Chains A and B, each alone.
Chain A
């Protein structure tokens, strides 16, 4: 199995996509952090509470939670890990080399976990360096063991890993690369955003992967839309594990019996 996971990682790292994803991820995170830094402590004119100031202990966890925004990129890599096999018909060679297809799926999921962890590390490092620098410049002090930071870090890892697995499951189900990418992005950016942002819709949204990840990270930031309605952190973790198993099952069932013509 180690050999198969290594082969899956080679598939990813011998094409150019992964570092393109990493670059876009840095740009995306940098953009979000720039906004967060610029708006820190600025109260909107209508009297609503604004973002915490840079020297407010609540600012750093909020900034670090932006590292989980890289979930979209691990999802894309997961989708591509599966669908590029169909797009370029390399699935034929993959199954010739490993005819026991369940092992291929297991290896892809294993590679997905590693990709998720890898991106979580680089995303967290990048976010932390930028955010900590901003806090220090803003006159705040740093305590990485404080408050929710350890749990939040764990949440970033869980989110990025889970979305990689989600991508693999989605890719196995849809197979058409473009359709899977569009579906995945619409899901993560439109459906989950809407169902996760409005507390009234969170009765549904909290059961989705995005909502569950939010619960795990426990980013209880007042968006001015009312009190959030999320699962407890352990509930979020359980929901995420259940989704991971579901995606693995989808990938396995849709792939093992199909004729490759």
Chain B
């Protein structure tokens, strides 16, 4: 059975079409990155999947069922939504105890889950004093309470420091690859997830743009290198065995040599290069252009 299945999902808020005919699946044992700029419809998709938002049409299913119809949802799905959903006057442990009570889970789970996310020392502290990173860990502890096999995480890296992001990556990979869980993780920052995911779904303005595997995402675009120079560099490159295409005056697209080899050749030829860069892969370009990171990169 497919762990997560989203089929022709659409949802509007007033005149805004937040999610428009999105379909994808997540299988057990894999991590899927759900990527898109802020406001792309990621959160609405995930909230539809979790029964918090009622879709206008289409279906969002976990283990083949609607979330709202599950009798023991915490045992099937662990969810991490925004990290602000805590009462500031309550301790971390009490927050988890309430969930444990309501879900009828063993009373030992809160402490075990806090241990798992590295928050055991802060268990009896009020959440009001927590950093954003600690709140993210607490939210993750909540997702772990029922020891589910499906994890749905909305921007879990928000507020984590680099060490925290590193830890999260390892943790998500461990959940999927060692425990066989299906993990769906959203992000608006490619770098946060590109070392974690097996599959990628890219969404923008509510519509699904691309779907692909990690290999497609991290491929280097066929090895082409873009070279900017005002000098006449093409003959030398061709002499060195490269395939050269003049995209526009002063901009060359070079295949067959990598950036270092091109740089060395330019040094030998006393040619001034103003830019040498590997072309981005297809999926990366799509994503970076969507999020506006492309202009800065």
Q: Which residues of A does B touch, CB under 8 Å?
A: 3-4, 6-7, 10-11, 14-17, 84, 88-90, 92-100, 257, 259-261
Contacts and interface: CB of A to CB of B under 8 A. Distances in A.
A6 B52 CA distance: 23
B88 A4 contact: no
Contacts of B68: 99-100
Contacts of B50: 96, 99
Contact of A99 (B70, B85, B87): B70
A260 B98 contact: no
B122 interface: no
Contacts of A96: 50, 52, 73-74, 79, 81
Given A4-B102, A96-B50, A96-B79, A10 B94 contact: yes
B282 interface: no
A259 B101 contact: no
Contact of B85 (A6, A92, A257): A92
B52 A89 contact: no
Interface size range on B against A: 35 or more
Nearest to B104: A3
A257 B54 contact: yes
A89 B101 contact: no
B88 to A, nearest CB: 7
Nearest to B48: A259
Contacts of B81: 92, 96
B90 interface: yes
Interface of B: 13, 43-44, 47, 50-54, 67-70, 73-74, 79, 81-82, 84-91, 94, 97-99, 101-104, 142
A14 B52 contact: no
A97 B99 contact: yes
A3 B52 contact: no
B53 A259 contact: yes
Nearest to B66: A99
Contacts of A3: 101-104
Given A92-B52, A260-B53, A261-B44, A98 B102 contact: yes
A17 B142 CA distance: 24
B46 to A, nearest CB: 11
Contacts of B88: 88
Contacts of B94: 10, 14
A84 B88 CA distance: 11
A259 B103 contact: no
A106 B142 CA distance: 23
B89 A16 contact: yes
Contacts of A98: 73, 102-103
Given A14-B90, A100-B68, A93 B47 contact: no
Query: Which 6 A-B pairs have CB atoms at the shortest separation, nearest pair first?
Result: A7-B102, A14-B94, A260-B52, A7-B101, A99-B68, A89-B85
Q: DSSP majority for the A interface?
A: helix
Contact of B91 (A4, A14, A92, A95): A14
B98 A7 contact: yes
Nearest to B102: A7
B66 to A, nearest CB: 9
A178 B51 CA distance: 28
A89 B52 CA distance: 12
Contacts of A17: 89
A93 B69 CA distance: 16
A95 B74 CA distance: 11
Given A96-B52, A260-B52, A15 B89 contact: yes
5 contacts: A3-B102, A7-B99, A93-B85, A93-B142, A98-B102
Contacts of A89: 82, 84-85
Given A10-B94, A15-B89, A89-B82, A97 B53 contact: no
B47 to A, nearest CB: 7
Contacts of B69: 99
Contacts of A4: 102
Contacts of A16: 89
A88 B86 contact: yes
A99 to B, nearest CB: 4
B234 to A, nearest CB: 55
B14 to A, nearest CB: 12
B1 to A, nearest CB: 19
Contact of A15 (B53, B70, B87): B87
A10 B54 contact: no
A14 to B, nearest CB: 4
A95 B51 CA distance: 8
Nearest to B70: A99
Given A94-B102, A95-B52, 16 more contacts: A3-B104, A4-B102, A7-B102, A15-B89, A17-B89, A88-B87, A89-B82, A90-B85, A92-B52, A96-B52, A96-B74, A97-B103, A98-B73, A99-B68, A100-B68, A261-B43
Given A15-B90, A259-B54, A261-B53, A93 B101 contact: no
Contact of B52 (A11, A90, A259): A259
Name the residue in B52, B91, B94 with the highest tally of chain A Cβ atoms < 10 Å from its Cβ: B52
Contacts of B82: 89, 92
B4 to A, nearest CB: 15
